Structure 1
Amino acid sequence: MTRFVFNTAATLDGHLADPDHSLAWLFEVDGGTPDAPEHAEPFTAFLESVGVTVLGSSTYEWLLRETGALDSPAAWEEAISGKPAFLFTSRDLPVPEGADLTVVSGDVADHLDAIRERAGDRDVWVMGGGDLVGQFDDAGALDEVQVSIAPATLGAGAPLLPRRIGSDRLHLEDVVRRGQFAHLTYRVSR
């Protein structure tokens, strides 16, 4: 059965990105990349469970800037871990040549069947940002939240989840130390 999983890193004060939508803070933390030894094996296992990725326009634009994917289509494949992706946006954005990217707009609920079909029997990685994750929850399609809490604070920026999800719906399943990060896994109930 396809599950919708939000897997991300956040600062101790609950931000995904700084006010300029940058993740530079993450790469300043020792071990702050998925290929760091403490993250590599668990992240690889996570990626093997994923059939498709969904992301919003801010996350997408950040990936394009940071990877240079418009000039080097192979960089897009690496950034998205070779997975097909759905981009939720209301704007006309450039797409890397040959990218397996479906651009959609409107209500998340209107696209759930297509996303599930594309994922097959694998999970959907709701990459972010937080507002898009909230829209998936609003549509009843958020099954798990995995967040690696980093030893950093920003004071402002994009919040982890700009929606209220009460403690009656979030159930702690696992806590793992990964170097300087605390990786938390929550099951989301309806």
Structure 2
Amino acid sequence: MGRIVFDTAATINGWIADEHDSLAWLFAVPGGEEPSAELVPGDATVMVEGRTTYEWVLRETGILEHPEKWSEFHGTRPTFVFTHRELPVPEGADIRFVSGSVEEALPAIREAAGDGDIWVVGGGDLAGQFFDAGALDALAVSIAPATLPGGAPLFPRRVGSDRLQLESATAIGQFARLIYRVRPAEAAS
């Protein structure tokens, strides 16, 4: 069974999107628009997104009009989208909408992933729900040289240092890449 990894980019002061759910700040960073292969989880066989992230991808990339763009980022991986709304699906994309809790959806997500990793793309609250369910194995953050006055927080949960163990810290272009292993609650006690 693979790991569940929340892998994202954030500003120095901990925002993953601005007040308008925009990632323009990220794309302004050299390497932000076309990230290095070292900045994305290569072993992920399934992706998980929240509604806001999914709608942003549809809106900002024109994927509904150009469905071939879906595979540029998502590949052929199944993508689970947590939402309570009916949303459009790009032609040829393997989208699986989920309206229940992380705990309820986890068996289907793990089955689709097989032995591969599960990449929680966004947002931070969805990743927090995986953490709350005891299902988050790693937190990988690519810190960009930018700050924002507000927006969507990286991880809107209080998590003590007893729950996160630094595995690596490297410089990749303009990004500081931090990878933390999430320790189970019982191991942290």
| TM-score (normalizing by structure 1) | 0.93
Q: Secondary structure in 2 aligned to 1:125?
A: strand
SS of 2:128's partner is helix
Paired residue type of 2:180: Y
What is the CA–CA distance in structure 1 between the aligned matches of 2:179 and 2:157, rounded to whole Å?
Answer: 18
SS, match of residue 112 in structure 2: helix
Q: Distance in 2 between matches of 1:81 and 1:21?
A: 24
Aligned with residue 174 of structure 1, among 158, 168, 172: 168
Give distance in 2, aligned partners of 1:140 and 1:74. Answer: 35
Would you say 1:27 and 2:17 are equivalent positions?
no
The alpha-carbon deviation at position 43 of structure 1 amounts to: 3.9
The Cα shift of 1:97 comes to 1.7
Cα deviation 1:57-82 (Å, max 9, x = unaligned): 01001100121111111112223233
Matched, 1:88 2:95: no
Equivalent runs, 1:20-169 vs 2, <5 Å: 20-35=20-35, 39-40=36-37, 42-43=38-39, 46-47=41-42, 49-169=43-163
Of stretches 121-130 and 91-100 in structure 1, the one that deviates more from structure 2 is 91-100
Cα deviation, 1:133-165, whole Å, max 9, x if unaligned, reads 000111111000000101100110000001112
- Distance between the aligned counterparts of 1:9 and 1:74, measured in 2? 24
Deviations 1:109-141 (A, max 9, x none): 001111000000000000010000000111111
List gaps (5 residues or longer) in structure 1. Answer: none
Amino acid at match of 1:155: P
Quote how far apart the aligned CAs of 1:15 are: 0.2
Which amino acid letter does the alignment assign opposite residue 122 of structure 1? G
TM-score calculated relative to the size of structure 2: 0.93
What letter matches 2:102 in structure 1?
A: V
Question: Secondary structure, in 3 states, of the residue corresponding to 2:142?
Answer: strand
Q: Which amino acid aligns with 1:20?
A: H
Post-superposition CA distance 1:86-123 (Å, at most 9, x none): 00001111111221010011211001111000000000
Q: How many residues are paired up?
A: 184
Aligned residues: CA RMSD: 1.2
